[in-house]
Structure 1
């Protein structure tokens, strides 16, 4: 990926064993770049880091209110949850209130990431379904919007009213036309943007207010508030998004995406942050976002949730310290 710079290193035996290169951009309330590493104009697929953008039409259209959705459902619409019982039950209840069922989803079945639930299901001989998919909340949101708009069942199609609305919102908050799209793991289209566009979108969410005169920033403010109120629904126990939001006392919203993407929304600082690791490594994107949030003064580098991703030693199966993950020199 042209213009990527060293961001995260893995050290062992007194040498850098692995190096992860990438891009990072911080934008202010005007959408201007405050600081950048790598190439701000690099075009990426933001994957699940933009679920809050994909949920904007759900709220701003009035569909969420018409369906009686609360903050828990809005948090799930932004979530990459682990398919734990708390997530599955809530999405199932949401669909039931709409008169819909698991079969109406278009995200595909996925095994739960919750260890206790996976063990229970194996013993019981149960197979995973679409409710366990980490994107089932987003898809429940798509179904809710589709019903409100009078759309057909294939809401993942780029020509469907749902995805047309998502693309319009995406291009508005990123400040640019999307040059292409890819199909995500959940079968929904994932629109591409630049690193600058992604950070600009997060800054839009950071400055959004519930009393704004326009529907879009009001919707953005509600979605951020839902994420901050329910970090356990956005991801799950042991997951980076949940643990980091808790570590920052519900003042900063963060969201991971597949293939090394991570974003942050900082309302108090009126900043948006975007990270992309070019080799797609999650360990590097988590370390990089921790480094940036600490650099911006909103995350304590010594908090256990931070040290778990950047600072704690790497240990082998006997508990022997073998190495560490570091930020590359010159980054954050």
Structure 2
């Protein structure tokens, strides 16, 4: 069993999150891994940059005058802020549609202030607030470009979904029937891939035009959009945005549901896939930062804006720190303290950051 994160309370281990990590280069070569690199995962929202490749490669962006900021929102899991909703609405207006065409459904925004404002006004969220509305707007733009029907565009048999599946398969040089499909939370098909395949996709995103590939230029545009507009990828105070802001272009980070996190490192042409087996999001962020630390991508002291994510404290109801959520793996194969529920574990977050490199 591969322990990735522990939660401590009063210097003892209370909970353990297990999972898998895979690091690949753009050729698909596995550079390092914890757990089985052939283990299967649903990509969930970490698939969004690659679901956008068909749109970028088609010429639809040029036809409709879509901007790089709008491309970033197409790749996002946004938090429903004003800037997110207005950008999605701009895409829809450019293709002659309204939010009524969105089939993602309505849900409360992740942004707490925006959600509180809706409650205060006694208003219900609309589909624009859905974190996947940007992706859906991009799919509708692709429908318009190819003169596909916009009705039922989320169905796996719809030509736009068939095209997106074909492009993702081509990105991996496999056949479409080698990609099992599930239904994502927003209703569109989602891809089941291996950890290695997911990491390879992100390595190819990192590489962009540094490799020879039919979709290299599209990947380069998507990479540039995500790095140029990190606030679009998740939102103010959200991990993906904060990670990209505080690493100053070194890293692209993209969260997915059920314990998925994906990372592209353009300087190295590396891609990384993380899966927390129990799907708990709280474990994803310490794993991501510890991974970047161990690989030397995050050096020196931890940026203040990332500290809340690296080793979140466990507090009692009076605000006293009684434990930590801590990474519990080592890529270099060094012996770590025994990980077992109930065992003593007195190390704090700063010790882990400074000594487990």
What TM-score comes out, normalization by structure 2 length? 0.88
Q: Which runs of 5+ in 1 are unaligned?
A: none
Give the Cα–Cα distance (whole angstroms) in 2 for the partners of residues 80 and 242 of structure 1.
10
Q: Which runs of 5+ in 2 are unaligned?
A: 333-357
* 1:22-33 to 2 correspondences below 5 Å: 22-33=19-30
Partner of 2:128: 131
Matched, 1:77 2:74: yes
Give the Cα–Cα distance (whole angstroms) in 2 for the partners of residues 89 and 151 of structure 1.
25
Q: What SS class does the counterpart of residue 158 from structure 1 fall into?
A: coil
Partner of 2:216: 217
Matched, 1:54 2:51: yes
Matched, 1:271 2:270: yes
Q: Pick from 15, 19, 43: which aligns with 1:18?
A: 15
Q: What SS class does the counterpart of residue 110 from structure 2 fall into?
A: coil
Write the deviation string for residues 232-255 of structure 1: whole angstroms up to 9, x where unpaired. 110011111001111101221110
Deviates more, 1:107-116 or 1:255-264: 107-116
Q: What SS class does the counterpart of residue 156 from structure 1 fall into?
A: coil
Structure 1 residue 175, shift from structure 2 partner: 4.3
Matched, 1:6 2:14: no
Partner of 2:337: none
Partner of 1:199: 199
CA RMSD of aligned residues (A): 1.7
C-alpha spacing 1:269/1:248, structure 2 compared with 1 (3 Å): same
Q: What SS class does the counterpart of residue 268 from structure 2 fall into?
A: coil
* Kept in 2: contact 1:81–1:236 (CA 8 A): yes
Q: What SS class does the counterpart of residue 65 from structure 1 fall into?
A: helix
Q: What SS class does the counterpart of residue 309 from structure 1 fall into?
A: helix
Matched, 1:170 2:168: yes
Q: Pick from 23, 32, 35: which aligns with 1:35?
A: 32
Q: What SS class does the counterpart of residue 192 from structure 1 fall into?
A: strand
C-alpha spacing 1:108/1:66, structure 2 compared with 1 (3 Å): same
> Where does structure 1 differ by over 4 angstroms across 4 or more consecutive aligned residues?
212-215
Give the Cα–Cα distance (whole angstroms) in 1 for the partners of residues 250 and 63 of structure 2.
29
Q: What SS class does the counterpart of residue 103 from structure 1 fall into?
A: helix
Structure 1 residue 39, shift from structure 2 partner: 0.7
Partner of 2:100: 103
C-alpha spacing 1:115/1:313, structure 2 compared with 1 (3 Å): closer
Partner of 2:297: 298
